[in-house]
Each structure stands twice: as structure tokens, then as C-alpha cells.
């Protein structure tokens, strides 16, 4: 049981990291979509592009990792979700393909028309994936996934809860992206973009907060147990999410965006963990499937815990390196196309100490290591008993 | 039996979709595994010998790599989802076993993605050797990641490392799952294939340029950097492939019988080159007596197991496809070996690559040929395992989704991937054209990365301050 709970925590950690890292990349697509015409949208699009470019693929891997943990540790639940929610998952996959390809192609084509076309593909598909993934999470949370699902169900993911959570995901992605971009603009001393994304972060933050509260109230009908736990044992996390959200909005309104990236990410993480704590130990609410009986033997769970420790040890520092290089603006596009044969490193370096994405990643890495250590200790305790 | 009722009409489209998406992704996967090494070799030569041509090639290849890695990342994600969306039966039953190597692959995928980002976008601001070293983890994690994924496929061919009680898996030995019996030959076979595909593809691009009269040092260097490693590895690949075929004759005799048209278990089995098997006869094939027995056991008297040892329902559906794909793979392997030997001969006699146009034609098609051989090999191993998805434990029909509408997703996927493939090729060609024109061609760009030439940056006034 302890091992199953630990692996459940690992899965939730992977989902959280995908949410606060990959989610923000999707949110960037949302703001790209809403940035207006070529001229007006030039500056924000460029900031979005430069912020996402070197990191989105690495951030995206959290999704693959979460999927692998899901099917290895909880194969019964995985098969049920993949069968019952097949349609929104296919649509989310379509969004992933189009987003990644559109984004990568846009940089490499010359000519405005083609760039517009690929840019539009990138921006529009950035909406699809979070929305449909949200509906799938909504279907799980609302208890609409049967344990022995043999057919796709339309009703499972088109319930009000599912659709609300779909919109909540889009809102949260937009909120995170805007908050990160405010920090990025501030670091570049770009006052105009800082104000531009401050307004958007405020709007998205208000919308996301409202959607969260609505979802919480709406859960009374389809998932009373979840709602009860969210206002019960998960209440501290719910309050943390609310407070960080309000703090971010207050700091933004006051024009003092110091630390908002960490606070924004923490708020979204608190929502994810609030859900996890409230639903524990059920994996598919409304069925008998829990963390400990979803199909994997103990040895598989232990192997996954060992694997996760390896991931934390190897990937944590690597991400910290990536984000800190990115934060210090040492990673830039245009790697080819050299007309002069001058070696790399010729442009003057800018000295910037406060690499905020670097700081976020360091905080994350430390948090992950701590979580892994706790999980490991608990797993070991479970075995000794 | 549940299996029979579940074998609805979705198995064939689900297999077709898996084949299409995997067949597409595997090309990008090969380039993802091996291209970084080739780029690193070029950069190494550029740094060590201060060779500007090699340096330009390394930079340009890594720009192409950026596009390929992005497309490979998303098509790989599609496959992760398809494991559940198309094969929920497989995942429900064996997810806890075959998920473990996938988890290890996830670890290496992380390292690959992170260091690819650092390497690709660090060209301008990270200094020479420091930049080179950021590429080394990509090359290594490509190899280890490939080993992990191949471990899954090999496990499906030779499942083991778990115990079942009352129809449920009760314990798993990760080590035995990862290094199962087929992994020992499948891993090196695929990793060498990835290096051959990447090397010959790079060589093919520059051989085509040389055939068009671009006979400069840039093109010869580009050709050699791809061709030499790939040609050196070819004989090793033929050796590994031969060993693998012999192992398959033992481990999966029905697959081997389909590869070689062995209908009845017997000794003195002939080797068939090409030919179509139908109604108990091989049409239009070349028969070489005793050779198949000779290849399997080094003696004409070796007994080779035929497909008559299993009931008709347990045999693969289209043996002629398996046989022809096997022949195509082996034939292309020897053709590529010949190209390498020709180059070696020229180098030995005159310290130069052969001047004959035929050699350069061979070089130009070598990339495509290597891709065809690799795909054909996958057809052999995957179709040859049918009707099983996990050999002798679970049929593909039991694994397939019970959802309708796979035809729809198949059609959409084919259309989407056709566009994706065409766009990738067109964009790489456009990049090449831009490079030939001398590089700096980005003016009037609304957004996107900046050109890296300082003059060009100053010349476009619309650009915001960095």
C-alpha cells in the first residue's frame, strides 16, 4: 500500500511538473493566438517564442513520463481511461502533434504567409490539448470512467464538470504563461511587455480563480465525496492555492512582480495536489479501483520508485542547468546560417544574475528530491513492516 | 471465448495505424539516435583541426536536427498514447511488465531532450569544447534510450521475467524483462541500423549534390562524414543480422519459417531468393539447394522447423510479405557493403573516392535504401510474430481496442502524417536552398529567431531590442 501510494505521488508529481512547465508552453500559444496582427503582435509573439523555444521539448517529456508511470503502475486504470475517454485523448494527441510541428516549422520557414500559417496552427492547437486533457481529468474526478470500460463514452467527458475542468486547464495554462512572461519581460527590462502581460495575467488569474471556485461548487452533484474532501482533509492545499493566487494578483496589481513565478507555479501545484489528496486512495472514483489494486505487483512499484530516484538525481540537475542557461540568455535560436566563419561566442555576453526560470527549476529540483526522499523512506518503512 | 468475440473489425485498422505511425516515427528515431554522433564528429574535426568546413556542416546539421527532433518528439508521443488507445488489452494485461523498460526510456528521453536544447541553442554563446561536451549526453542517451525501447519489442518476441498466479502478474524481475533473450541481438541490430540510416542519409544528400556538379570540399566532407561511419558499421550489421536470424530459427521458428519459406520441418532445406508463396508453391523465386540448412546449422543436414508445426491459426497471415521484406533487407545490406568496399578500394589504390558516376549514384540512394531495409526489417519482425502480440501469450486481437472508429483515426492519422512528412522534407530542402544562397535571407520576419549574423540584425530595424 505504501509503495502504491508513493508511486501515486510520483505520478502526481509528474503531472504537476507537466502542468506548471508544459502547461505554460501551451499558455504561450494562447497568448500568441490572441496577440493580434503581425505588427501589433510582433513584440509579444517574439517574447513568447524566445521563452518557449529551448525548453518546450524537455518540458513535454513530463507528459510521456507521466503516461509511462500511469500504465506501468496502474494498468487497469490506464486501460479503462484510454478506452472510455478515447475521443478527447485522440483530440489532445492531435493538438500535441500540430502544436509541436507548427512551432518547429514556423521558425524554419521564410516568408510571412507560411509563418502566419504555421503560427496559427501552433497557436490554435495550443488550446486543444489542455482543454481535452482537462475534460479527461474531469471525467476521472467526476467518477465517469467505469473500471471495465469496453467502449468510448461521450457522456463521460461532456458532463458539466468535465467541460468546466477543460476550461479551467486552458485558463490555468494562460495564467501561468502570462505570469512567467511578466517575469521574463521584467528581466529583460522591457516595460511595455511587462505591462502587456501583467494585464493578461490579471485577467487570466481572475478567470482561473472564478473557474476553480465554480468547479468546486459544481462537484457537489457528481462527486460529493471529492468535494467533501476538498473542503476537508485537502483544505490546507485549497487555501494555499487561493492565497498564492491572490498574492500573485496583488503583486501584479501593485507592479511588483518579484517572485510571482514561484508563487504562480506553487498555486497550480497546490490545486493538483489538492485533487490528489482529496481523491486518495481512489484511482477511478465511483469504482473499486484504488492505488493499490490497479494491476501492478509490488516489485513493479518498487522498480518505479527506484527509477524515479534515478530521474530525480539525473534529471533535476540537468533541468536546473537548462533553465539557468536559458535564464542567463545563453541559449538562443539561429544556430545555423553562418555566413561569417567566426567561432561561437562572439556576441557580447550580458551579465544577469537573477535567472528566474533557473530559480523556479532549482526550487522544483529541491522539492522533487525532498519528495522522492520522503517517498523512498515511506516505501522502505512499508517493506520493513 | 472472449478473445473471439473481441476480435471485432478493429484489429486490422489498429495494426495498420500502429504500422503507419511507428513506420514514420522510426525514421526520425534513427536520426535522433545517431545524427547527434555524426554532428559531434563534424564538430570535433572542426574544433580539433580548425576545419571551418566541418564546423559549418556541424552547425547546419544541428539546425536540421532541431526540426527532426521536434517532429520526432511529437510522433513519439503519439505512439505512447496509441499504446493505450489502440492496445488497451495489452496494457491492462502486461503494462506492469513492459512498462518498466519504457520507464527507463523516459529517463533517457529526458536527458536527450534537455541536452539537445542546450546543444542546439548553445552554439552562439557556449564556447567551443564546452559546447561539444553538451552534445555527448545526447549521443549516449540516444543509444541507451534505443536499448530500452528495443527491450520492449524484444520482450514481446521473447516474453519472460514475470510470474503469473490466478491470471494476474504477481511479481516482475526488471532485469530479466530488460535483458530478455531476444534483446541480446535486437538491441545491437537496431542501434547499428540507426547509425546506418543516419550516416547513409547524410551521405546521400551530399552525393546528390556532387552528382549535380557541386564538386567542392564542402560536399565531399559532408559525404564522407556520413558515409565513412555508416560503411564501417555495415559488415558488423551483417554479422549481427546473421546471428539474429539463427537465433530466431531457434526462438521463433514460425517467424523464421515465414522468412525463408520453410513449409515443412526437414533437413536439406533450400534457400529461396525472392519468389511468391501461394498454394504450396513458390512462384518466380530462385532456389538454392541446401543453403538454408547450411545457414542455420552450418551443415546441409541441419533440420529446420517449418510452419507446419503450429496450427494454421497460429501462423502469420502473409508469408510472402515477410519473405520479400527479409530478402529486401538482406539484399540492401549487401549492396551497402559493396558501396563501402568500392570506396575502400578507391582509397587504397588512389587515396581518393571513386570517380565513377555509378558510385555516386549508389551513394545518393544509399540513405533511402538504408531506410527501406530498416522498415523491411520491422515488417519481418512484427508481421512475423502475428497472430501474437506477446509471443504465445496474447494475440493481437485480444490486445486491440474494443472501440469502434479506428478506421476514422487511421484515415486522419495518414492524412496528418502525409502533410507532416511533406512539410518536414520541404522545410529541410528550403533550409538547404537558403544555405546555398549564402545564408542570410531573413528579412521582413514578423517574429521568430534572429539571424545570427550581427550585420543582419542591425539591418532589420523592425526588430525589438534584445
Q: B7 pLDDT exceeds 60?
A: no
CB A367 within 8 A of CB A12: no
Q: Would you state the pLDDT for residue B450?
A: 40
* Beta bridge partner(s), residue B304: B266
Band (pLDDT 50/70/90 cuts) for residue A46 is: very high
Is B446 in CB contact (< 8 Å) with chain A?
Answer: yes
| Spatial separation of the C-alpha atoms in residues B116 and B99, rounded to whole Å | 25
* Beta bridge partner(s), residue B394: B390
Band (pLDDT 50/70/90 cuts) for residue B379 is: very high
Region A274-288: mean pLDDT is: 91
Query: Up-side HSE of residue A117: CA atoms within 13 Å toward CB?
Result: 9
| Spatial separation of the C-alpha atoms in residues A287 and A378, rounded to whole Å | 27
The sign of the dihedral angle between the CA atoms of B426, B73, A168, A52 is negative
Q: pLDDT for A212-241, tens place per residue?
A: 999 999 999 889 899 999 999 999 999 999
| Spatial separation of the C-alpha atoms in residues A179 and B299, rounded to whole Å | 73
Q: Would you state the pLDDT for residue A366?
A: 56
The three cell numbers of residue A285 are 472514483
Share of chain B above pLDDT 90, in %: 82
Strand extents, DSSP E, chain A: none
Predicted structure pTM score? 0.88
CB A173 within 8 A of CB A130: yes
Q: B125 pLDDT exceeds 90?
A: no
Region A318-340: mean pLDDT is: 69
CA nearest neighbour of B279 among B294, B263, B256: B263
| Spatial separation of the C-alpha atoms in residues B449 and B427, rounded to whole Å | 16
CB B34 within 8 A of CB B71: no
Measured between CB atoms, which of A78, A322, A329 is closest to B118?
A322
What is the b/e burial string over B118-127, where b = at least 16 CB atoms within 10 angstroms of the residue's CB?
A: bbbbbbbbbe
Region B68-88: mean pLDDT is: 93
Nearest-Cα distance to chain A for B412, in Å, is 10
Look-up of cell digits 491572490: A246
Q: A191 pLDDT exceeds 50?
A: yes
Contact A315 B401 (CB under 8 A): no
Contact B451 A38 (CB under 8 A): no
| Spatial separation of the C-alpha atoms in residues B258 and B314, rounded to whole Å | 12
Q: Would you state the pLDDT for residue A71?
A: 94
- How far apart, in Å, are the Cα atoms of B150 and each of A225, B140, B144, B381? 43, 16, 10, 12
Region A334-362: mean pLDDT is: 38
φ/ψ region of B447 (left if φ > 0, alpha if ψ in -120 to 50, else beta) reads: beta
Cβ neighbors of B426 (< 8 A, separation 6 or more) are none
Band (pLDDT 50/70/90 cuts) for residue B452 is: very low
Q: Would you state the pLDDT for residue A150?
A: 86
Indicate which of B14, B95, B108 best probes the interface with A, i.e. most A CBs within 10 Å of its own CB.
Answer: B95
Query: How does DSSP classify residue A337?
Result: -
Contact B92 A76 (CB under 8 A): yes
Band (pLDDT 50/70/90 cuts) for residue B286 is: very high
CB B209 within 8 A of CB B173: no
Nearest-Cα distance to chain A for B361, in Å, is 28
Q: Would you state the pLDDT for residue B445?
A: 32
Helix (H) or strand (E) holding B172: strand B168-172
Q: pLDDT for B301-338, tens place per residue?
A: 999 999 999 999 999 989 999 999 999 999 999 999 99
Query: How does DSSP classify residue B465?
Result: P
Contact B76 A46 (CB under 8 A): no
ipTM: 0.88
CA dihedral B133, B107, A25, A99 (to 10 degrees): 100
Contact A64 B77 (CB under 8 A): yes
Pick the residue with more confidence: A332 or B364?
B364
Amino acid at each position: 500500500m505504501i509503495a502504491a501510494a508513493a508511486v501515486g505521488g510520483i505520478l502526481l508529481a509528474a503531472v504537476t511538473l507537466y502542468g506548471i512547465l508544459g502547461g505554460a508552453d501551451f499558455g504561450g500559444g494562447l497568448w500568441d493566438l490572441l496577440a493580434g496582427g503581425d505588427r501589433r503582435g510582433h513584440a509579444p509573439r517574439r517574447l513568447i517564442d524566445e521563452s518557449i523555444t529551448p525548453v518546450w521539448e524537455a518540458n513535454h517529456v513530463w507528459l510521456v513520463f507521466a503516461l509511462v508511470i500511469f500504465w506501468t503502475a496502474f494498468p487497469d486504470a490506464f486501460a479503462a481511461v484510454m478506452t472510455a475517454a478515447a475521443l478527447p485523448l485522440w483530440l489532445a494527441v492531435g493538438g500535441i502533434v500540430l502544436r509541436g510541428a507548427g512551432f518547429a516549422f514556423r521558425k524554419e520557414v521564410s516568408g510571412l504567409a507560411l509563418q502566419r500559417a504555421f503560427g496559427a496552427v501552433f497557436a490554435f492547437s495550443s488550446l486543444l490539448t489542455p482543454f481535452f486533457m482537462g475534460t479527461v481529468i474531469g471525467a476521472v474526478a467526476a467518477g465517469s470512467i467505469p473500471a471495465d470500460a469496453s467502449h468510448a463514452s461521450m457522456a463521460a467527458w461532456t458532463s458539466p464538470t468535465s467541460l468546466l475542468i477543460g476550461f479551467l486547464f486552458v485558463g490555468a495554462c494562460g495564467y501561468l504563461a502570462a505570469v512567467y512572461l511578466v517575469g521574463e519581460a521584467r528581466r529583460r527590462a522591457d516595460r511595455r511587455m511587462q505591462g502587456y502581460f501583467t494585464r493578461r495575467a490579471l485577467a487570466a488569474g481572475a478567470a482561473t480563480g472564478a473557474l476553480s471556485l465554480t468547479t468546486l461548487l459544481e462537484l457537489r452533484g457528481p462527486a460529493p465525496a471529492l468535494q467533501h474532501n476538498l473542503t476537508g482533509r485537502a483544505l490546507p492545499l485549497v487555501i494555499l492555492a487561493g492565497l498564492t493566487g491572490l498574492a500573485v494578483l496583488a503583486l501584479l496589481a501593485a507592479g511588483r512582480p518579484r517572485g510571482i513565478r514561484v508563487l504562480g507555479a506553487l498555486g497550480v501545484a497546490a490545486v493538483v495536489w489538492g485533487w490528489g489528496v482529496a481523491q486518495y486512495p481512489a484511482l477511478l472514483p465511483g469504482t473499486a479501483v484504488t492505488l493499490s489494486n490497479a494491476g501492478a505487483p509490488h516489485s513493479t512499484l518498487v522498480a518505479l520508485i527506484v527509477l524515479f530516484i534515478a530521474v530525480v538525481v539525473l534529471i533535476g540537475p540537468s533541468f536546473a542547468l537548462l533553465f539557468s542557461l536559458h535564464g542567463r540568455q545563453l541559449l538562443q535560436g539561429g544556430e545555423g546560417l553562418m555566413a561569417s566563419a567566426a567561432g561561437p561566442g562572439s556576441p557580447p555576453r550580458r551579465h544577469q544574475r537573477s535567472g528566474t526560470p533557473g530559480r523556479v527549476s532549482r526550487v522544483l529540483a529541491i522539492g522533487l528530491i525532498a519528495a522522492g526522499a520522503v517517498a523512498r523512506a515511506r516505501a522502505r518503512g512499508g517493506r520493513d513492516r | 471465448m472472449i478473445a473471439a468475440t473481441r476480435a471485432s473489425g478493429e484489429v486490422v485498422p489498429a495494426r495498420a495505424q500502429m504500422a503507419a505511425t511507428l513506420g514514420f516515427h522510426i525514421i526520425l528515431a534513427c536520426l535522433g539516435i545517431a545524427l547527434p554522433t555524426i554532428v559531434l564528429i563534424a564538430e570535433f574535426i572542426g574544433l580539433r583541426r580548425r576545419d571551418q568546413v566541418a564546423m559549418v556542416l556541424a552547425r547546419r546539421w544541428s539546425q536540421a536536427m532541431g526540426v527532426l527532433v521536434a517532429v520526432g518528439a511529437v510522433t513519439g508521443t503519439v505512439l505512447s498514447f496509441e499504446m493505450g488507445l489502440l492496445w488497451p488489452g495489452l496494457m491492462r494485461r502486461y503494462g506492469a511488465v513492459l512498462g518498466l523498460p519504457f520507464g527507463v526510456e523516459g529517463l533517457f528521453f529526458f536527458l536527450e531532450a534537455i541536452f539537445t536544447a542546450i546543444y542546439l541553442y548553445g552554439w552562439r554563446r557556449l564556447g567551443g569544447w564546452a559546447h561539444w561536451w553538451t552534445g555527448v549526453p545526447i549521443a549516449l542517451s540516444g543509444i541507451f534510450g534505443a536499448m530500452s525501447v528495443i527491450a520492449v519489442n524484444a520482450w514481446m518476441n521473447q516474453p519472460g521475467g514475470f510470474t503469473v498466479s490466478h491470471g494476474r502478474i504477481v511479481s516482475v524481475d526488471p532485469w530479466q524483462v530488460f535483458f530478455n533473450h531476444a534483446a541480446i541481438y535486437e538491441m545491437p541490430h537496431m542501434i547499428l541500423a540507426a547509425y546506418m540510416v543516419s550516416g547513409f542519409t547524410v551521405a546521400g544528400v551530399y552525393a546528390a549534390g556532387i552528382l549535380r556538379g557541386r564538386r567542392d570540399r564542402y560536399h565531399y566532407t559532408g559525404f564522407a562524414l556520413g558515409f565513412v561511419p555508416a560503411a564501417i558499421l555495415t559488415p558488423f550489421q551483417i554479422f549481427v543480422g546473421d546471428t539474429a536470424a539463427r537465433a530466431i530459427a531457434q526462438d521463433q521458428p514460425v517467424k523464421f519459417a515465414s522468412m525463408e519459406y520453410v513449409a515443412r520441418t526437414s533437413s536439406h532445406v533450400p534457400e529461396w531468393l525472392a519468389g511468391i508463396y501461394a498454394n504450396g508453391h513458390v512462384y518466380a523465386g530462385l532456389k538454392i539447394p541446401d543453403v538454408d540448412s547450411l545457414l542455420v546449422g552450418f551443415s546441409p543436414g541441419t533440420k529446420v522447423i517449418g510452419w507446419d508445426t503450429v496450427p494454421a491459426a497460429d501462423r502469420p497471415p502473409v508469408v510472402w510479405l515477410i519473405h520479400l521484406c527479409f530478402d529486401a533487407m538482406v539484399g540492401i545490406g549487401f549492396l551497402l557493403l559493396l558501396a563501402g568496399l568500392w570506396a575502400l578500394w578507391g582509397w587504397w589504390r588512389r587515396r581518393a573516392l571513386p570517380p565513377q558516376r555509378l558510385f555516386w549514384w549508389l551513394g545518393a540512394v544509399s540513405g533511402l535504401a538504408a531506410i527501406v531495409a530498416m522498415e523491411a526489417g520491422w515488417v519481418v519482425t512484427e508481421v512475423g510474430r502475428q497472430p501474437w502480440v506477446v509471443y504465445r501469450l496474447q494475440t493481437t486481437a485480444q490486445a486491440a481496442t474494443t472501440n469502434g472508429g479506428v478506421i476514422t483515426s487511421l484515415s486522419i492519422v495518414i492524412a496528418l502524417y502525409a502533410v507532416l512528412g511533406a512539410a518536414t522534407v520541404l522545410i529541410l530542402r528550403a533550409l538547404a536552398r537558403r544555405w546555398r544562397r549564402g545564408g542570410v535571407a531573413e528579412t521582413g520576419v514578423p517574429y521568430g529567431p534572429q539571424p545570427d549574423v550581427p550585420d543582419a540584425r542591425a539591418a532589420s530595424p523592425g526588430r525589438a531590442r534584445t
